[in-house]
Chains A and B, each alone.
Chain A
């Protein structure tokens, strides 16, 4: 890494700040899940609560990835290497979902016997 000691001294404050954000984010995650006032959509856990929860988790993950893992100023090679794995996972999950959507129809299996 080409980071100079001066640059690192500056980023120490950023790390602390992001760390604080992550702590707050965790409290927010629990609050959104447990406090009734934050229950969006239907009462109880539904797709909107799921989306909200995952959005908060993704934001926290992005903070860790960009700031702590230095992905905000990383080389292209790393972006390609790491990013391609997410594409691969989504592709494979999509394949599984496709298999569930396009079922082989077996009359006996679906007759409920």
Chain B
């Protein structure tokens, strides 16, 4: 059976069916991206932190825009070639279109990669520091963990003497990791006390495990099994007892409402006790002898004396020195600190001069002083170029002033300029251009421009790479560009299908193929349309 109206237009719409279908689909895509764009507007307007303006390098985004616009032109040419029955031309133009899509995704991948390795940290006083973390080195050689990966110098060290695991929530892979670490540190994790539990109603206690037994996933699973069985057994009794109590209470007080009876209804736990089994919700293990264990910052809520893992494991022990070590610091941002200071009515400059970073890092202090001179110069230039206005109260105000970002953020380009002014090597044109893609060139610019810095753990309020975890801007950036990227891949796959497998269709029914390519081209133009808005909004505003 032939599909109707794939070439001949329908009388009611005046179009072939695929046209109607693709426009319907594009309407749904407008809803999808429109939702995200409006989310961006609301999140930006309502942000309680300084919104990152122009933090992304513009050049990759600009090239991607050119690439996508070019591919939009070539996809239309490909369709035109099909309509004019020029198969070779169609192949060439479609080939260029698909190639442009590949370039787009490669550039996007490079951009993402750069962000995933770039670290940001917010200090306790809301100063923000950005850069790249160091990898642990032992005498010049990189230290590798048991998986063969380099170890980032952003770990929490606890001198553990006792682990208390939640029998319900313990995380298997973390238990195995602890055991591996214990083996490395030549220590043992042993059960603290005999585990005696009533596992059968009416019968006496049974020893589930003896003190001194080594920690293992198997042991914890055994205890978990017994605990969960006991818990469901006990809760059945408790529920039945409670139901009975409610029944009695309501029967004895027919004219009282439920909420009036709540306070007086309760189960007789003493009467129930002989029927209940032993619930073991947590089990303690001694570390013999105590040894330093390593944890990732996102897995542990560290505190002096007792730290807690995300699976509710409690670690007793001293918190060891666990600094976050930056191999290269490439930006210092005081905007958030200033935002909070202004809210409290404190002078921003004073707040910055009293910040922890300025008082504990000679480099930061120097950079701040250099930066202030630059801001003063900018202020003077703006005053010279745009003048002042006197309002009705006689107050003289400059027509243009430096923005908060210009005043309070010291970016990597500024640090690079400072280093060059102090005698560091200047970069070649090619090296400067590649910096637009890959960020500051640490090798050439050296440690004087972007020094190492060890940040004590207690100064860290929040840390993340440039990922959705860092702020809503990055969350939206990755969501929208990622979703757009998926659309690019999908569209490219469809176009590639027509490019590589379209010959047969072309020979059988060229007008149908032309319609299909036109419709795929419409989708491709929509993808370009979305990028036309994404680029200025995320990269330039």
* Closest A residue by C-beta to B34: A89
Task: From B13, B84, B535, B540, give the contact of A75 (CB < 8 A).
Answer: B13
* Closest A residue by C-beta to B61: A30
Q: A16: which B residues are within 8 A, CB to CB?
A: 73
Q: B19: which A residues are within 8 A, CB to CB?
A: 1, 78
A57 → chain B closest CB, angstroms = 5
B76 → chain A closest CB, angstroms = 5
**Contact present for B42 and A68 (CB under 8 Å):** no
B376 → chain A closest CB, angstroms = 15
B136: interface (CB < 8 Å): no
**Contact present for A43 and B20 (CB under 8 Å):** no
B50 → chain A closest CB, angstroms = 12
B78 → chain A closest CB, angstroms = 11
Alpha-carbon gap, A61 to B85, bound state (A): 29
Task: From B28, B382, B400, B525, give the contact of A64 (CB < 8 A).
Answer: B525
Q: A85: which B residues are within 8 A, CB to CB?
A: 26-28, 30-31, 34
Proximity bits, B520-541, A CB within 8 Å = 1, else 0: 0110011011001101100011
B303: interface (CB < 8 Å): no
**Contact present for B46 and A100 (CB under 8 Å):** yes
Task: From A78, A88, A92, give the contact of B23 (CB < 8 A).
Answer: A78
Interface stretch, picked from B106-114, B327-335, B402-410, is: B402-410
Interface stretch, picked from B63-71, B139-147, B275-283, is: B63-71
Give the contacts of B58-104 with A (CB-CB under 8 A): 58, 62, 65-66, 69-70, 72-73, 76-77, 80, 83-85
Q: B313: which A residues are within 8 A, CB to CB?
A: none
Task: From A9, A60, A93, give the contact of B532 (CB < 8 A).
Answer: A60
**Contact present for A5 and B83 (CB under 8 Å):** yes
B15: interface (CB < 8 Å): yes
**Contact present for A45 and B532 (CB under 8 Å):** no
**Contact present for A77 and B20 (CB under 8 Å):** yes
* Closest A residue by C-beta to B51: A45
A84 → chain B closest CB, angstroms = 7
A63 → chain B closest CB, angstroms = 9
* Closest A residue by C-beta to B514: A1
**Contact present for A29 and B72 (CB under 8 Å):** no
**Contact present for A89 and B532 (CB under 8 Å):** no
A48: interface (CB < 8 Å): no
A58 → chain B closest CB, angstroms = 8
Given contact pairs A9-B84, A96-B42, A26 touches B69 in the complex (Cβ within 8 A): yes
**Contact present for B536 and A54 (CB under 8 Å):** yes
B401: interface (CB < 8 Å): yes
Given contact pairs A34-B58, A45-B403, A93-B34, A3 touches B83 in the complex (Cβ within 8 A): yes
**Contact present for A8 and B28 (CB under 8 Å):** no
Q: B35: which A residues are within 8 A, CB to CB?
A: 89, 92
**Contact present for A23 and B69 (CB under 8 Å):** yes
Alpha-carbon gap, A44 to B526, bound state (A): 31
B94 → chain A closest CB, angstroms = 15
Interface residues on A, range: 35 or more
* Closest B residue by C-beta to A43: B400
B516 → chain A closest CB, angstroms = 12
* Closest A residue by C-beta to B80: A8
A110 → chain B closest CB, angstroms = 14
**Contact present for A89 and B38 (CB under 8 Å):** yes
Given contact pairs A30-B540, A43-B401, A81 touches B20 in the complex (Cβ within 8 A): yes
**Contact present for A43 and B27 (CB under 8 Å):** no
Alpha-carbon gap, A84 to B23, bound state (A): 11
B63 → chain A closest CB, angstroms = 10
Proximity bits, B341-377, A CB within 8 Å = 1, else 0: 0000000000000000000000000000000000000
Proximity bits, A1-43, B CB within 8 Å = 1, else 0: 1110100110110011001001100100110011000000011
* Closest A residue by C-beta to B540: A33
Most buried by A among B46, B53, B533: B533
Alpha-carbon gap, A42 to B85, bound state (A): 55
Give the contacts of A52-95 with B (CB-CB under 8 A): 53-54, 56-57, 60-61, 64-65, 68-69, 75, 77-78, 81-82, 84-86, 88-89, 92-93
B483: interface (CB < 8 Å): no
**Contact present for B529 and A65 (CB under 8 Å):** yes
Alpha-carbon gap, A84 to B24, bound state (A): 10
**Contact present for B529 and A61 (CB under 8 Å):** yes
Q: B34: which A residues are within 8 A, CB to CB?
A: 85-86, 89, 92-93
**Contact present for A64 and B53 (CB under 8 Å):** no
Q: B526: which A residues are within 8 A, CB to CB?
A: 69
Alpha-carbon gap, A26 to B531, bound state (A): 11
Proximity bits, B32-46, A CB within 8 Å = 1, else 0: 001100100110001
Task: From A11, A29, A81, give the contact of B536 (CB < 8 A).
Answer: A29
**Contact present for A44 and B518 (CB under 8 Å):** no
* Closest B residue by C-beta to A67: B76
**Contact present for B72 and A92 (CB under 8 Å):** no
Most buried by A among B15, B23, B525, B526: B23
**Contact present for B42 and A64 (CB under 8 Å):** no
B14: interface (CB < 8 Å): yes
* Closest B residue by C-beta to A96: B42
3 closest residue pairs by CB, A with B = A89-B34, A44-B403, A85-B27
Give residues in A with beta carbon < 8 Å to B. Answer: 1-3, 5, 8-9, 11-12, 15-16, 19, 22-23, 26, 29-30, 33-34, 42-45, 49-50, 53-54, 56-57, 60-61, 64-65, 68-69, 75, 77-78, 81-82, 84-86, 88-89, 92-93, 96-97, 100
Q: Would you give 12 A-B contacts (Cβ < 8 Å), ordered by A?
A: A1-B19, A29-B540, A33-B540, A43-B401, A49-B541, A60-B532, A78-B23, A81-B20, A82-B23, A86-B30, A92-B34, A100-B42
Other CB < 8 Å A-B pairs besides A68-B525, A85-B27, 16 of them? A16-B73, A22-B69, A22-B72, A29-B540, A33-B541, A44-B406, A64-B72, A64-B529, A65-B529, A68-B73, A69-B522, A77-B20, A78-B19, A78-B23, A81-B27, A92-B34
